[in-house]
Amino acid sequence: MCGISGILSLDGKPIKNLKNKIHLMTKLLHHRGPDQEGMFIAAKNNFGLSNNRLSIVSPKEFIDLPFTKNKNEFLSFNGEIYNYLEIKENLKTKGVNFRTSTDTEVLYEFLKYYKLQNFEKINGMWSFAFFNEQKNELLLSRDLLGERHLFYTIQNNQLIFSSEVKPIISVTENIDEIDFESLITSWKFTSSAPGKTLIKNIYRLKPGTNLHYKKGIIKVNQFQKLHPEKWFDFFKADPDTNKVEKKFEEIFSKELERRLPNDVSYFTALSGGIDSSILAYFISKIEKNNIKTIFGISSNDQTQKINQYTSELDSSYYVANKLNLDHSHIHLNSDNAIKDLKFAASNCFDGCIDSGVANFSGLSKHLKKMNSKVMLFSEGPDEFLGGYESDVDAHKIDKIMGPSKTLRFLNLLSKTNYGKKLLSKLFNLKKNIEFEFSYNPFYTRVNHLVSPNTFLNTIIENYDDSQLFDYGVLDPSYEFLKSEMDFSQIRALNYASKSLPDMFNLRLDKAFMQYSIEARLPWQSVELAEFMIAMPNKFRFENDYGKLFLRNYVSKKIDQSISNRPKKGMGTYLWNNKNIYRGLNFEETISNSDFFNSFPFKKNIKNILLDPKTHHANKWTAYTLIKTFENLREINKKKKLD
């Protein structure tokens, strides 16, 4: 994993202080690539590019950064190409020669040979910049599941881009401001909308998308889409469970083996739940010895029994013992977490304000102390297979109130507060109690909706609660599939194309790269994602449970006691700890801030936020926005002085 950054003059004129700006951006990304760094400044001083390297593949091998073999074409690369050995052998048969053992060189030669096309041949995660000095041509690219991120702005005839937003803010000549629309989206969903950030006029490249500059013209195009439809015939044939399991094992084994690091030490997160247990199970079939797994304790209830089930911590050790894993645990909710929480709160320029960033930062910090460079994580199955309570709720509503159901008239009840309470009780809903959904147009409640319209109405002037927000709406490029999919499949595709790339994966990237650890997500291989998205309802839901297919699989292959465990994540709010909460000074920060005066909030917003009945999550949100606003103000002040 690495960091990339660069500045391109769109009118060809020299860029003032270009070298100093590129140097500053490189310095601000040092944590993303502490092993090696390098810069390139074009002869005409109209383009600068840098690359920070965290060496995972061939870590002892030093390479030119940004990578070049002809001093004309330059590659700044952040990510991993998992099938680089196959691509390398294929390119060799076409006469391409290689100097290094890195996947960076393979990507470089691939881009040259295929003339910036055929990205579907690459199995990996990436954001990269590829520049041809002679043609003055630049390509920026981001992978389909959005495991890696790339932010950019176009200001004063310059295209400025980076792996993070702060380096961009630090070198722009304009005074940057917070975008209020993005602020609302982040407050509601813990992340700004796909394609946007918290800062006006700074954008993020959408997943599966290229930004191409050539002959003075910028074009942004989607180069790749998910294709769950290629599995529709397989599932329409009504295969038995054994056939589906065999296909799942075939795909997952192949994709996981590609993602296991060969040259550096790694850990795997093991919570004792379904997804992480299956991941550990598959790793144990490939790696026979010294498989290191870890559990992060973020709240005391993770060490306590849940009804008839053992605690999460005990469950993780139970699975580890069954699979012969080298398991350990750490406490994330100590007073030391205050520093990471304050850092996370002050650096939400990208729009991700989720407090779970600090939880994962704690794991990252520990792994660095253990001289590890990679963490395997199980993000994905909940989104693909209806693992969240909100998705189980939605399925219950679909079965009774969906467009083709005889009781669809009950939708009328969902328009009133009394009706919502009645329906919530009738369906035994856990999360979908606000009924923020619709079938026409299709809009669904995603799991990371943390602040409902009812609350936002109380703090924001003229809040439009009829507005559809991006995260609940299927991307238009997939509209052609809607008529062939059931509602659970549509929700899975929606999660895969928006929530995973632009909330959950961003959260992990921020957290783990803070301490130079690469997060790998085996469940998010394109082929596996397409397979699971295509699974119909009967593989997802049973009674009050989601992820039915994986529950049955873990019961058969690992242990039945794991299969029915209530879902508990590793990301419990660290500020639930009283000492941590006091150390953050939420109330004092909110009371003394002038932040709210700059935006159309209601005049009594501070009273609402400081009300003991207000959920602490809304106080955390206000705290992060205040701290990021203050940080932005300091950066702007420094720019004025410079």
Asked if 545 contacts 273 with a C-beta cutoff of 8 angstroms, the reply is no
Instruction: For residues 526 and 397, give the distance between their C-alpha atoms in angstroms, rounded to a whole number.
Output: 30
Measured CA to CA, the distance from residue 319 to residue 278 in angstroms comes to: 10
User: What is the pLDDT at residue 412?
Assistant: 83
pLDDT tens for each residue of 524-545: 999 999 999 999 999 999 988 9
Q: Under a CB-based contact definition with an 8 Å cutoff, are residues 559 and 323 in contact?
A: no
Q: In terms of C-beta density within 10 A (0-12 exposed, 13-18 middle, 19 or more buried), how is residue 463 classed?
A: middle
Whole-angstrom distance, CA of residue 27 vs CA of residue 14: 22
Residue 14: both structure tokens together: 């020299």
Q: Please give the pLDDT value at position 568.
A: 63
Phi, psi of 193 (to 5 degrees): -60, 150
Return the number of other C-beta atoms located less than 10 Å from residue 556's C-beta.
12
Give residue 567's pLDDT: 62
DSSP symbol at 385:
T
SS3 10: coil
**Interatomic CA distance for residues 478 and 333, integer angstroms:** 41
Contact, 148 vs 79, CB < 8 A?
Answer: yes
Q: Which two tokens stand for residue 120?
A: 């579907």
Asked if 443 and 472 count as a contact pair (C-beta separation under 8 A), the reply is: yes
* Distances from the Cα of 576 to the Cα of 118, 331, 332, angstroms: 48, 14, 12
Checking 216-225 for CB contacts under 8 A at 24+ apart, the result is 216/10, 216/11, 218/10, 218/154, 218/159, 222/477, 223/119, 223/141, 224/119, 224/120, 224/144, 225/144, 225/477, 225/478
Q: Which of 416, 87, 391 has the alpha carbon at shortest distance from 258?
A: 87
In whole angstroms, give the CA distance from residue 96 to residue 123. 20
Residue with tokens 């950054």: 5
Residues 6 or more apart from 152 whose CB is under 8 A from it? 140, 159, 160, 161, 162, 168, 202, 203, 204, 205, 211
Question: Which stretches of the chain drop beneath a pLDDT of 50?
Answer: none
pLDDT at 569: 56
DSSP state of 614: S
**Within 518-595, where are the H helices?**
526-533, 548-557, 560-563, 578-584, 586-592
* Residue among 529, 535, 509, 470 at smallest CA distance from 224: 529
Phi, psi of 438 (to 5 degrees): -155, 155
- CA angle 637/150/355 to nearest 5° reads 70
Coil/strand/helix, residue 14: coil
By C-alpha distance, which of 312, 228, 309 is closest to 484? 228
